[in-house]
């Protein structure tokens, strides 16, 4: 065991030294996220074929278990800033960490952090991309060269005159927009005609996001392989997973699906969580495709009795204007219980401190409140004892103030119909 561990310490100390950011080539000029964003997306890739399964810790907390070669985790929502990431041979506990990095995770960005190469010569890869809606009729492909056995290549496909990308060396990554279709990608040495590798057919859908990684394929007739993963699906957004619950706590997660797509700029999708620990409750929301550069009203909704809230559908459009307005939504989602702004303990709906989306249409929010105070407020105002978040949901509201809406669209109190129009909704489920 000692020998095995020393071997890992060997590679991973190299990995620590080589840790550098290799930004993917930008698709076009993209505004930097930022503004008030506080959250980032993180996923981890294990692409060292001769290294063991690993566990990943974030700031001392186990976030991913038994990551084997070859795997890419789903995305996790994590706080932005410098975050300590430790890699441990599976099951040994954080004290046995063999890699200890403190990369900066940027607010409003998604980060892919991977280990590539082999035990004798490992390298780290860090790919940063803005969090945004994957708009376009094309497929969004992140292509990574992580195969020690493969030379520098161009990537082509039969029937295409121009390569999709050229001169990709080991450790390089590039973002591509590819028309939807079925592809058998070919890897060709630059300037040559004959591919040295032809991948299995892969179907790429328009508006979806994929990561394709050229990896080693040990023990097989072909020494390399092109691995593909779906990162992003138009109706549900980024492919996400939830951080484990804190010790003794509970976590509820909701995937947000678009509402009122016909009047919003883009379909809005996202992910939201409620984390309950012994003395605190943390709410997070994360959405893309919401109207940029404006504040979005958002709430935890539910009923004051046992009955469970659900997200509205067009069947709940009672006045037949083809729009699910605020009051139609409340009929099935329940009333506003907790406003998700800067001071939720007030339980007051009308505040100027709801989160604003950045210029990419990305919204994030995180707030932690005292659990006893929140429960006391819910009991005082709504007679709710022991709130069960699994019976409630999260809803994000707001389209651009210029959006034309018919007079039949109902709003709340003094807010405009544009401001309260529901754009995304998800019911909370208790995460395992
Ligand atoms: Cu609401």
Q: Is 93 left (phi over 0), alpha (psi -120 to 50) or beta?
A: left
Ligand 1 centroid, distance to 297 Cα (angstroms): 7
Average pLDDT of the segment spanning 234-258: 91
Answer positive or negative: Cα dihedral of 374, 375, 380, 386: positive
Ligand 1 centroid, distance to 390 Cα (angstroms): 16
Answer positive or negative: Cα dihedral of 344, 346, 351, 352: negative
Ligand 1 centroid, distance to 325 Cα (angstroms): 11
DSSP secondary structure string for all residues of 240-302 = B--PPPPTT-EEEEEEEEE--TTTSSS--EEEEEEEE-SSEEEEEEEEESSPTTSB--EEEEE
Which strand (E) or helix (H) includes residue 333?
helix 326-333
Average pLDDT of the segment spanning 10-26: 35
Quick check: 175 and 25 in contact, CB under 8 A? yes
Q: 60-87, pLDDT tens digit by residue? A: 999 999 999 999 999 999 999 999 999 8
Ligand 1 centroid, distance to 249 Cα (angstroms): 26
Ligand 1 centroid, distance to 299 Cα (angstroms): 4
Ligand 1 centroid, distance to 147 Cα (angstroms): 48
Q: 371-413, pLDDT tens digit by residue? A: 999 999 999 999 999 999 999 999 999 999 999 999 898 888 7
16-20, 73-77, 84-88, 185-189: least confident range: 16-20
Please name the residues in contact with 104: beta carbons below 8 A apart, sequence gap of 6 or more: 81, 82, 83
Average pLDDT of the segment spanning 236-260: 92
Give the Cα separation of 201 and 186 in Å (integer): 10
Q: Could you tell me which of 315, 283, 308 has the C-alpha nearest to residue 298?
A: 283
Ligand 1 centroid, distance to 257 Cα (angstroms): 14
Q: Could you tell me which of 301, 368, 388 has the C-alpha nearest to residue 38?
A: 368
Return the percent helix, strand and coil in the chain, to nearest 5. 10, 40, 45
Ligand 1 centroid, distance to 111 Cα (angstroms): 30
Structure tokens at 319: 């006045």
Domains of the chain with bracketed CATH: 2-233 (no CATH), 242-430 (2.60.40.200)
Ligand 1 centroid, distance to 367 Cα (angstroms): 17
33-42, 74-83, 166-175, 382-391: least confident range: 33-42
Ligand 1 centroid, distance to 93 Cα (angstroms): 41
| Backbone torsions φ then ψ of 7, nearest 5 degrees | -60, -45
Ligand 1 centroid, distance to 19 Cα (angstroms): 43
Ligand 1 centroid, distance to 117 Cα (angstroms): 48
Segments in 97-250 forming alpha helices (H)? none
Ligand 1 centroid, distance to 431 Cα (angstroms): 22
**In angstroms, what CA-CA distances link 177 with 70, 131, 205, 361?**
24, 16, 11, 20
E strand map for 92-194: 99-101, 104-105, 109-118, 121-130, 139-146, 153-156, 165-168, 173-178, 181-183, 186-188
251-255, 405-409, 411-415, 424-428: least confident range: 411-415
Ligand 1 centroid, distance to 320 Cα (angstroms): 21
Share of the chain above pLDDT 90, in %: 75
Ligand 1 centroid, distance to 423 Cα (angstroms): 10
Ligand 1 centroid, distance to 88 Cα (angstroms): 42
Mean pLDDT of the chain: 88
The residue behind tokens 């409340």 is 330
DSSP secondary structure string for all residues of 300-323 = EEE-SSSPPP----GGG-TT-SS-
Give the Cα separation of 196 and 224 in Å (integer): 10
| 3-class DSSP assignment, residue 417 | helix
The residue behind tokens 């492909």 is 141
Ligand 1 centroid, distance to 342 Cα (angstroms): 15
Ligand 1 centroid, distance to 273 Cα (angstroms): 15
| 3-class DSSP assignment, residue 346 | helix
Ligand 1 centroid, distance to 396 Cα (angstroms): 6
Give the Cα separation of 152 and 139 in Å (integer): 24
Say yes or no to pLDDT of 13 above 60.
Answer: no
Ligand 1 centroid, distance to 301 Cα (angstroms): 6
203-207, 349-353, 387-391: least confident range: 349-353
Give the Cα separation of 157 and 152 in Å (integer): 17
Quick check: 163 and 155 in contact, CB under 8 A? yes
Ligand 1 centroid, distance to 245 Cα (angstroms): 25
């Amino acid at each position: 065991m000692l020998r095995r561990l020393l071997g890992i310490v060997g590679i991973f100390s190299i990995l620590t030294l080589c840790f550098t950011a290799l930004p993917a080539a930008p698709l076009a000029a993209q505004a930097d996220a930022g503004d008030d964003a506080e959250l980032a997306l993180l996923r981890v890739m294990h692409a060292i074929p001769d290294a063991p399964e690993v566990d990943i810790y974030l700031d001392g907390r186990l976030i991913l278990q038994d990551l084997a070669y070859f795997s890419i985790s789903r995305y996790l929502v994590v706080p932005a800033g410098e975050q300590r990431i430790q890699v441990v041979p599976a099951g040994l506990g954080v004290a046995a960490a063999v890699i200890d990095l403190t990369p900066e995770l940027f607010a409003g960005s998604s980060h892919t952090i991977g280990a590539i190469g082999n035990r004798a010569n490992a390298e780290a890869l860090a790919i940063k991309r803005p969090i945004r809606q994957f708009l376009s009729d094309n497929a969004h492909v992140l292509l990574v060269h992580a195969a020690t056995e493969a030379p520098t290549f161009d990537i082509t496909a039969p029937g295409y005159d121009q390569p999709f990308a050229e001169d990709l060396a080991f450790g390089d990554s590039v973002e591509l927009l590819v028309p939807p279709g079925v592809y058998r990608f070919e890897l060709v040495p630059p300037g040559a005609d004959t591919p040295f590798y032809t991948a299995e057919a892969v179907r790429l859908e328009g508006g979806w996001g994929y990561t394709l990684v050229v990896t080693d394929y040990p023990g097989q007739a072909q020494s390399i392989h092109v691995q593909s993963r779906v990162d992003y699906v138009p109706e549900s957004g980024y492919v996400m997973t939830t951080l484990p619950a804190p010790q003794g706590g509970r976590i509820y997660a909701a995937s947000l699906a678009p509402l009122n797509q016909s009047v919003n700029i883009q379909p809005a999708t996202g992910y939201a969580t409620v984390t309950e620990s012994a003395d605190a409750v943390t709410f997070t929301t994360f959405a893309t495709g919401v109207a940029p550069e404006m504040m979005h009203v958002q709430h935890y909704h539910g009923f004051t009795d046992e009955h469970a809230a659900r997200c509205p559908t067009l069947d709940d459009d009672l006045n037949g204007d083809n729009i699910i307005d605020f009051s139609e939504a409340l009929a099935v989602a329940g009333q506003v219980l907790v406003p998700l702004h800067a001071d939720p303990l007030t339980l007051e709906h009308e505040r100027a401190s709801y989160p604003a989306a950045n210029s990419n249409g990305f919204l994030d929010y995180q707030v932690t409140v005292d659990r006893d105070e929140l429960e006391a407020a819910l009991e005082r105002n709504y007679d709710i004892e022991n709130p069960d978040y699994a019976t409630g949901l999260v809803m994000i509201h707001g389209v651009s103030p210029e959006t034309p809406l018919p007079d039949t669209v109902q709003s709340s109190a003094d807010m405009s119909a544009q401001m309260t129009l529901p754009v995304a909704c998800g019911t909370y489920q208790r995460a395992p």
